[in-house]
Structure 1
Amino acid sequence: MSQWADLPKELLEMIRKRLDSRVDLLRFRAVCTSWRCSASLPSFDQEIPPLLLKLPGSISADAALMQTSVCRLEPVRKCPNYSYSLSKSWLVKVGESKYGKLQLLNPLTNQEAKDSPISLNLHDFKFVHLSNAFFLKWSNGFLVFGINKVVLFPISASCSNKDELGMLSIYHEGKLGYWKYGDEEWTLLDDNNFEYDDIVVYKDQFYVVDRRGTVSWIDSSLNVIQYSPPLYGCGEKKNLVESCGDLYVVDTYLDGERRTWKDYEDVMDDNNNFRGRRRTRKQTRPNKAVDFRVYRLDEEWATWVDLKSLDDRVFVLGMDCSFSISCRDFNGGKGNCIYFIDGDDFVVRELSAGRIHVFQLEDRSIEQLAVIPEFSDIFWPPNIGSST
């Protein structure tokens, strides 16, 4: 650490000027004392106008692209004002409000973390970056209807610079597309497959998975190239998760038939406002998860390995990103489980903590998080009553 602390002030200034967000600035300041002193936190008293995007097609609307960071909130020193142990960390999503102020969110629901029993003094904590997440929202604060997943393309793109802004998206319940700022139409990357489920950045490359469990990667020319054999898992929904350098597919089994875009085409009015769900004879309620299977891709043999245990790992399947953590780094909870949002996450206007569930691989049980409060202790804000 000493060699980093001794970097010339001129070099630190060059680094600081390249930081795009308040979150990055906080991470910069958390490195060491000298870095903290070289970059003061600015006061934000003017509203920051969002970068509005005119999205094409049937989801045309003025939308803002939002970037957040999933972080481990880690105590750096003990404070006598805290009445309980600060030996471990909490999981939190960090974003910015329209005035540039720090905003702490639940990593699964994106709800703002309020009424914390602890005053968050930035001198007592640091943010350890785990993953980036992107989502599109309308001016009313709701997620843009029809967009399942968004990542910036290329990786070096910035959501604060419209001239270089491009994004890959899974939209209309399975189409894989590309859009660059100013484009009037989506560029459909695969007109033979409308059943893509997830997209991630893995080893500085973009990977997608479809409902058959086939993983493909997207090169710099936007070609979709098959990377793995089909999984042919019997679940209805696939998620990609990177964990400890390996790529995993989480196969979710639902209690009903998977919905398609046609089931949702009439939920918007002429002004792109959410009108309500379409009810069909076959589907009168959102599908719920009843089981999960986890598979690791053996890249050497190009085969899938069916995992019976995640050991100390926890997989978190969020609305806008999925990631893995070790339970040893956090307060509460335990490993070998999957946190997820249950129900129809595609058309909801708001998400509440009541929709978070936990699947435990050991006994294959699924419980609502509210029923097992000890599992919620990994999230910020902490529950002092159950902390030790």
Structure 2
Amino acid sequence: MIVMDWALLPHDLLYIISTKLADISDFIRFRAVCKSWQSSASPSDHAPRLPWILNNHGGLFVLANLKLCPSFSNKIYTIRVRHAYMMSLNGPSECYLLNTNKGKPISLLNPFTGNTIALPPLREEIRNLYPLNFVGNRLRSKDLLVVFGLKRHSFTFILGVTRLGDAEWLVIPLPGNIGTWVRGSFMYYKGHLFAHELSTGRTMVFDATSGKIVFTMRDTNRLDYNCDVKEYMVESDGKLLRIIKNIENNQVESF
């Protein structure tokens, strides 16, 4: 009988295996096997095919405990991130979360590596700021960073667009009727804003540079929601997915 010492597997092989793990929870388990496996797979190298969702998004993390729902597996993982202390974080993500503490500069946080990236300030006061495109772990200067928010005084919905190294945001006003999608989901993808209205199943597609409606889609598969829900729109391998999170008694029941 041959007993295999898994800790002796070549690092090159372990690295290849780690890059095939689509679920961030599998990646965390992989790195927890032993020190050899941990050293072969850096958190900065992992790029999940589906983003993980921050379950308590938009809150103030006094104890820096983040609850993640990876790959919509109906499981919640709690990780302690000391870098997130007193941050107000938001958004599903492939890697970076958006930090929008009131009165402080906007920034990005990688909860696994602790890396933070400062972003330019917004000239106007924007509330309910939310990230629309999922920022991967290899953030480059040419990558667009897109947020969605509401001007506090004029109640105008806006897109904010910037790149690393820019001194300011490009702010694009959106049509006023977009406020009807408050219970739906939003996503930026290839120059367009997708806004889905949960109650009617209608998705409006806007040109991200002009804010004009390009076309409208209707969802033919209407679901009967018997509990509280939260909706997300995500991209995976070039396809757009609309994800419904069912919540009962403040617990995630299903995706």
TM-score by length of structure 2 reads 0.47
Relative contact order higher in (CA < 8 Å, ≥ 6 apart) = 1
